[in-house]
Amino acid sequence: MANQILVLAVLTMTSLTCTLVIAFEPSPLQDFCVADTTSSGLHIAGNTSNPLGVRITPVNVAQISGLNTLGISLARIDYAPWGVTPPHTHPRATEILTVLEGTVAVGFVTSNPDNKLISKVLNKGDVFVFPVGLVHYQQNVGNGTAVSLSSLSSQNPGVITIANSVFGANPSISDDVLAKAFQVDKSIISDLQIKF
């Protein structure tokens, strides 16, 4: 009888091991494109003469098709003095930002119900991580230009800028809905929608 229990235990353990192996998710890498695995120009400063004072130069699968299925991408961010990358999310990627020049204030907001702001002022050589899907921002808090390099854990991280999405939706989100959500008068919502 003891031998039968031991055999049953071994079979159960073996079947659990097989279940774990069957549940293993293999790497998404299927093949790669040798013809398009390079990009150039990240050493060139971006033009920051726009209302936000920021220029983002992406290097993702849209620029290098060889990144397809590799799960990585980059972005160079140039900031004019006090330039800001407005609150946004990357629905498919965690981001790690390294400051190359200047001083950059960064932060992200944790999810509901806490909505805690995690923020820091970074100097040249400092690194900060923005977890996947969380709302985050960056701002040059110096009087000179700043530059950062972001690495993202997806070849196509996506970007959803909060203000553009909410106030610039096409067709527009009802001003009744937005006025109630933001607890402001409809005229304020209308003014914001015109800007986006």
Do 79 and 169 lie in one domain? The reply is no
Do 110 and 172 lie in one domain? The reply is no
Collapsed DSSP state (helix, strand, coil) of residue 25: coil
Beta strands 54-59; 73-79: pairing state = antiparallel
Region 92-118: mean pLDDT is 97
User: Tell me, what CATH number does 131's domain have?
Assistant: 2.60.120.10
Mean pLDDT of the residues in the chain:
86
Query: Under a CB-based contact definition with an 8 Å cutoff, are residues 121 and 55 in contact?
Result: no
Q: Which of 96, 52, 69, 71 is nearest to 196 (CA)?
A: 52
* pLDDT > 70 in the chain, percent: 82
Angle between helix axes 175-182 and 186-195 (nearest 10 degrees) is 110
Do 41 and 59 lie in one domain? The reply is yes
Whole-number pLDDT of residue 8? 39
Whole-number pLDDT of residue 14? 47
Region 171-176: mean pLDDT is 94
Provide the β-strand partners of residue 70.
none
Q: Is 189 inside any structural domain?
A: yes
Distances (CA, A) of 33 to 68, 101, 145: 8, 33, 36
Distance CA(97)–CA(109), nearest Å, equals: 16
Q: Is 11 inside any structural domain?
A: no
Do 92 and 39 lie in one domain? The reply is yes
Q: Is 2 inside any structural domain?
A: no
* pLDDT > 90 in the chain, percent: 70
Q: Is 91 inside any structural domain?
A: yes
Tally of domains within the chain: 2
Whole-number pLDDT of residue 70? 86
Do 172 and 102 lie in one domain? The reply is no
Q: Which of 7-11, 15-19, 65-69 has the weakest average pLDDT?
A: 7-11
Do 84 and 172 lie in one domain? The reply is no
Region 150-164: mean pLDDT is 94
Whole-number pLDDT of residue 23? 44
Do 148 and 176 lie in one domain? The reply is no
State the residue range of the domain holding 113.
25-155
Q: Which of 99, 88, 107 is nearest to 127 (CA)?
A: 99
Do 130 and 164 lie in one domain? The reply is no
Do 146 and 163 lie in one domain? The reply is no
Do 68 and 137 lie in one domain? The reply is yes
Whole-number pLDDT of residue 32? 57
Whether residue 6 is predicted with pLDDT greater than 60 in this model: the reply is: no
Query: Under a CB-based contact definition with an 8 Å cutoff, are residues 149 and 128 in contact?
Result: no
Do 130 and 168 lie in one domain? The reply is no
Do 103 and 186 lie in one domain? The reply is no
> Cβ of 3: how many Cβ atoms within 10 Å?
7
Distances (CA, A) of 129 to 14, 59, 133, 192: 40, 18, 12, 30
Q: What are φ and ψ of residue 117, in 5° steps?
A: -85, 125
Distance CA(99)–CA(77), nearest Å, equals: 9
